[in-house]
Structure 1
Amino acid sequence: MQSGSVQPADEEEEQTRDQGTAAAGLVELGMPPVRRLKIEDFEIGRPLGKGKFGNVYLARLKESHFLVALKVIFKSQIEKEGLEHQLRREIEIQAHLQHPNILRLYNYFHDARRVYLILEYAPRGELYKELQKSNTLDEQHTATIMEELADALTYCHEKKVIHRDIKPENLLLGFRGEVKIADFGWSVHTPSLRRKTMCGTLDYLPPEMIERRTYNETVDLWCIGVLCYELLVGNPPFESHSHNETYRRILKVDIRFPPSIPLGARDLISKLLRYQPLERLPLSQILEHPWVRAHSQRVLPPSVQMNS
């Protein structure tokens, strides 16, 4: 896969939103709401991952023994790249999302040099690493992920949030192997659900982003179509020897199915990877797609099962 994310072509003015502070009402850590958290409140364990702007560690609150993933971001790096606004937006959006297939952001705090995000710990790690180990996933696992993502993105879109960067690196696996959308760095809350910023990852860019057209939440439908193909085949459908060739293949929707792809999955992917955004299969129909229904083995956490 061609690595790296495509930076915004032109950073547009974000619409102002009154969502309150990101920490509001998030008292799930056994800590009194009035006291500000600090790094000394945690026992820091092994590293879980490294990023461009900092690292993620397994951590435990000393007072409650609650296990979390602590994302440590260096302010100097964020300021150097001019990404303070993007980080603030990521925190605001993720803190307000509560869904079994979305990684929770419980709280955050900062000191002179760093910002700390207190995240849900996903014990089975990155989907990307699992895909690297096995190269491909089977029909059951892929169909399950498709159902989980369709449900999670339905929730996001109802809240006027477009993710814009669904890919294996941004998906974690929970205790039961359930998928968790983990990175909201490129997500956006937009009441009109219409945007123009070019962002995301090259292999997953939809045609309307490449052509700088106004787009909406249907960009996420394209991304999960690309993801479904990559999980079953081992590489993204438009991967090429050069960026320009990848762009050309995306714009032509030049998709080639190997014989190994089951017919049901091929049907689903073909209905998601459509040049015209309005022709893409809606999330509600992904949930009802015969191939997804036949193979998905989604297991919801008990609290969700009891509430359903």
Structure 2
Amino acid sequence: MSHSQAMVKSDSAQPTAAAEGQTLPGVPTTRQLTIDDFEIGRPLGKGKFGNVYLARLKESHFIVALKVLFKSQIEKEGMEHQLRREIEIQSHLQHPNILRLYNYFHDARRVYLILEYAPRGELYRELQKSQTLDEQRTATIMEELADALTYCHENKVIHRDIKPENLLLGFRGEVKIADFGWSVHTPSLRRNTMCGTLDYLPPEMIEGRTYNEKVDLWCIGVLCYELLVGSPPFESTSHSETCRRILKVDVRFPPSFPLGAQNLISKLLRYQPLERLPLAQILQHPWVQAHSRRVLPPSAHMAS
């Protein structure tokens, strides 16, 4: 058993369809990597526990994103279990719209995650820059996410924190779900931990009820609205008002809002999780079908 597997075996989170040994081009799987195997480039982003850098493997010149986390920070916040879970889950998922976690290694002070590089950065940045996205772009993202989450749910993984900050963009602008820190592998697909971001929290999480994978359906409904309007549907001046509006499912659509998208969002933002439109029906929804321009990267055909 490799060293990377040894560290994560202690976690109860064991995704089923294990794609063992995510290989990096030009790196023998038997050898443990170190920081000396990489040329480090510009910073791509800052996080609470460390930074992400553009990096290149010296041997093969393969470009990756290297997430560098400080052990002291992780321990201070008691996040070891969450990090272990993130590694365990993300390293087993292989889908064109999910950011790959190829491998990881660590030294005395740091943990390094070797991630797929998403050249177009965060969806959040794009949204900030352009304020809103058009129907074509939004419908494409909805199709990509519905497909990726179908794959996650089939592997008993709930993401729980779909939002623009956790979505990266690939070479062709395709969405990549990143940051599996809040995701959970749950053989029964039932949980009751409150997590995620307030604007995106579904009613069952706010009320502390047991929830299941249908929380992700609520989140993509919120996302669809935010992409088209520029702000999330329940955004308010106070936390308590946001919660109140979520629990009432108080969604207000601007007059110019596309009717097809309104229909889709209304079917996703339902108080009762069982009433939310299933992922398979998002893919078949007339508005998604009419506007999506999803392009699969060449490698995806092999993975699917």
TM-score (ref. length: structure 1): 0.93
Q: Which residue of 2 aligns with 1:88?
A: 84
C-alpha separation in 2, matches of 1:75 and 1:16: 21
Q: What SS does the aligned partner of 1:89 have?
A: helix
> Secondary structure of 1:106's match?
strand
* 1:162 and 2:165 matched: no
Q: Write the deviation string for residues 232-266 of structure 1: whole angstroms up to 9, x where unpaired.
A: 00000000000000000000000000012100000
Q: Distance in 1 between matches of 2:107 and 2:86?
A: 19
After superposition, residues 116-265 of structure 1 pair within 5 angstroms as: 116-265=112-261
Structure 1 residue runs of 4+, over 3 Å off? 17-20, 305-308
Q: Which residue of 2 aligns with 1:7?
A: none
Question: 1:11-26 counterparts in 2 under 5 A?
Answer: 16-18=12-14, 24-26=20-22
- SS, match of residue 123 in structure 1: coil
- Counterpart AA for 1:104: R
Instruction: Check the 8 A contact 2:66/2:113 in 1, yes or no.
Output: yes
Q: Distance in 1 between matches of 2:257 and 2:104?
A: 43
1:304 to partner: Cα distance: 2.8
Cα RMSD (Å) of the superposition?
1.7
- Correspondence for 1:28 among 24, 28, 49: 24
1:272 maps to what in 2? 268
Partner AA of 1:186 in structure 2: W
Report the CA distance shift for 1:270/1:23 in structure 2 as closer, same or farther (over 3 A): closer
Between the aligned residues of both structures, percent identity stands at: 85
Q: Secondary structure at the match of 2:124?
A: helix
Distance in 2, matches of 1:175 and 1:18, equals 31
Find out whether 1:60 has 2:83 as its counterpart.
Answer: no
- Please give the alpha-carbon distance, in whole angstroms, between the structure 1 residues aligned to 2:77 and 2:303: 43
- CA 1:239–1:130: 2 relative to 1, 3 Å: same
Ranges in structure 2 where 5+ consecutive residues have no aligned partner: 1-9
Cα displacement (A) at 1:25: 1.3
Distance 1:101 1:124, change over 3 A: same
| Matched residue SS, 2:69 | strand
Shift in CA distance, 57/23, structure 1 to aligned 2, threshold 3 Å: farther
Normalising by structure 2, what TM-score? 0.94
**Is the 1:23–1:108 Cα contact (8 Å) retained in structure 2?**
no
2:111 aligned to 109, 115, 132, which one?
115
1:134-191 Cα distance to aligned partner (Å, 9 max, x none): 0000000000000000000000000000000000000000000000001100000000
